[in-house]
Structure 1
Amino acid sequence: MSKVVLITGGSSGIGKSVGEYLTDNGFKVYGTSRNPEKYGKSKFPILELDVKNTQTIQQTVSYIISVEGRLDVLINNAGAGITGPIEEIPEAEIKANFDTNFFGPINVIKECLPQMRNQHSGLIINITSIAGYMGLPYRGIYSASKGALELLTEAFRMELKDFNIHMTNIAPGDFATNIAAGRYHAPLLENSPYKKPYGDTLNLMNEHVDSGSDPLMMAKAVLKVIQTDKPKIHYKVGEFMQKFSVILKSILPDKVYEKLLMNHYKL
């Protein structure tokens, strides 16, 4: 029997690559989008779901279970980028980012858990970010929301151990996707004390995304995790130096690591 997979944010970028790869490998995949009508023909169904709207979450999960009779894998992939000096980002935008990157995944997990518990089996993969392991300048809100999801997974795993439901994080580095176009950018204000460093950092971030890795790398990593009996708590996928940066943070003195980051961003 093919495993049934739900991928939030499955219409483009990493989610689309993962969905296509899993479909090619025999899985029954359902992707989601806030506006599925915007996208053309896909290898797998794209259903309407907004992670900030619990009603759409309930409707979509219920539909999949009614059609398939089960739900084996949830991939919490939907996410949003956000950049800017923390002082200048409107509070509403900060809350909106956490609604998408943190509270949204929680609500999707809550909706899927009863079915997985009834099956006494299930796997939940939270797509976080290597940025969630460190507070990055002018990406502090994004780092915080993804870091919060990393920690949530650690706690959730222990609470779910009696139900044979596994949960893990996969933290990607920079991949060639359209995330830069969709992220919220705090405007570069002419009279801002952050104008030059924020502008320079913004250009550098966009260059990293444009020259990022092929999302197929993430798709292969997801398949490998699904095929693992006892997944690890944390996985990191990306270029060597991006993954190595997490190791450096764990071994270097805080101020030394901070200096490395500042040198990287030319601050």
Structure 2
Amino acid sequence: MSEKVILITGASSGIGKAIGMFLNTKNYKVYGTSRNPDRITDSPFPLLALDVRNTESIKSAVETLLEKEKRIDVLINNAGVGITGPLEEIPAEEILNNFNTNLFGPIEVMKAVLPAMRAQKGGLIINVTSIAGYMGLPFRSVYSASKGALELVTEALRMEVKPFNVHITNVAPGDFSTNIASGRYHAPLLKGSAYEDTYGYSLKTMDEHVDGGSDPKEMAAAIYKVINTPNPKVHYKVGAPLQKFSIVLKRILPDKIYEKMLMNHYKL
């Protein structure tokens, strides 16, 4: 069989770029996407123009790739954006933008590639979610919700498309050392706000976690392993042991005890 054709959304920086660079060395035909590919001059693989918030942009990018390669073997739905803040102080338009980027956009990308995968009688879709999507984290409510929703969409859709030999899985990263902190929306830390002290501390903690996060190459290696797994699992978690263990604790601990543990961590 010829080289697999891989499409990675949000591949101009961060985890997406690390995945693309790694897979580009493994005998795959890698294509990434970016909202502004003309501004990227150091990508070792081609970048297609795609904004996951724009359905026509998605259709155009997928059609361009299919015209060129005639198939798409693997979609890595990686494009996403962070958001932080007290829910009470996050503007509605920023909440909508986050869901458009982290949930509705990935859904539209999947809808765009599925007809081709069904026609070629096979394919793999990997949705990059987040360990934060397994729990409601203070001051990350919108991010947790959008990523958690994508986890559930994946669970449902993978059953719908199994008869067509299309596999879908989630890969949930923990904190990785990327530029996500600079690109995410921060609700302003308002002087005199009821949340000034608690949100200020949490914001500082979140930034420290990202700065001290794992190397994105770890995520790239995990994605490579999933691609080479004949029958992928529903969920994969990639990150520091304690972050992955937090999911186990949520499953086994009573809700209020787990909540207290999180509140202690964030000094609430």
TM superposition score normalised by structure 2 = 0.99
AA at the equivalent of 1:129? S
Aligned to 2:21: 20
2:211 counterpart of 1:183 = no
**Separation in structure 2 between the aligned mates of residue 137 and residue 38 of structure 1, nearest angstrom:** 35
Give the aligned CA root-mean-square deviation in angstroms.
Answer: 0.6
1:53, distance to aligned residue in structure 2 (A):
0.6
* Cα offset, 1:191, TM superposition: 2.3
Instruction: Give 3-state SS (helix, strand or coil) of 2:7's partner.
Output: strand
CA distance in 2: counterparts of 1:38 and 1:194, whole angstroms? 38
Instruction: Quote the offset at 1:202 in angstroms.
Output: 0.2
Following TM superposition, by how much is the alpha carbon of 1:7 offset from its aligned partner in structure 2, in angstroms? Answer: 0.2
Map of 2:227 onto structure 1: 226
- Matched residue type, 2:7: L
Tell me what 1:65 maps to.
66
Number of the residue aligned with 1:44: 45
Residue aligning to 2:174 = 173
Instruction: Report how far residue 14 of structure 1 moved.
Output: 0.4
Equivalent position of 2:267 in the other structure: 266
Please name the residue that 2:241 is paired with.
240
Q: How does 1:71-150 map to 2 (within 5 A)?
A: 71-150=72-151
Using the aligned pairs only, state the percent identity.
65
Cα distance in 2 between the residues matched to 1:43 and 1:2: 17
Letter in 2 for 1:55: E
Aligned to 1:108, the other structure's residue is in SS state helix
Aligned to 1:154, what secondary structure does the other structure show?
helix
Give the Å deviation of 1:126. Answer: 0.2
Q: By how many angstroms is 1:46 displaced?
A: 1.0
| Deviation >4 Å, runs of 4+ | none
Post-superposition CA distance 1:183-209 (Å, at most 9, x none): 000011112100110011000000000
Post-superposition shift, 1:265? 1.1
Q: Distance in 1 between matches of 2:191 and 2:54?
A: 36
Opposite residue 50 of structure 1, the aligned amino acid is: D
Structure 1 counterpart of 2:6: 5
Displacement of 1:58 after TM fit? 0.7
Structure 1 spans left out of the alignment, 5+ residues: none
1:181 CA drift (Å):
0.2
What is the rounded CA distance, in whole Å, between the counterparts of 2:99 and 2:60 in structure 1? 22
Distance in 1 (CA, whole Å) between partners of 2:85 and 2:127 is 25
Aligned length: 267
Measure the CA separation in 2 of the matches of 1:34 and 1:42: 14
CA distance in 1, matches of 2:267, 2:26: 43
Q: Post-superposition shift, 1:37?
A: 1.8
| Residue aligned with 1:228, SS | coil
CA distance in 2, matches of 1:193, 1:266: 15
Q: d(CA) in 1 for partners of 2:42 and 2:93?
A: 35
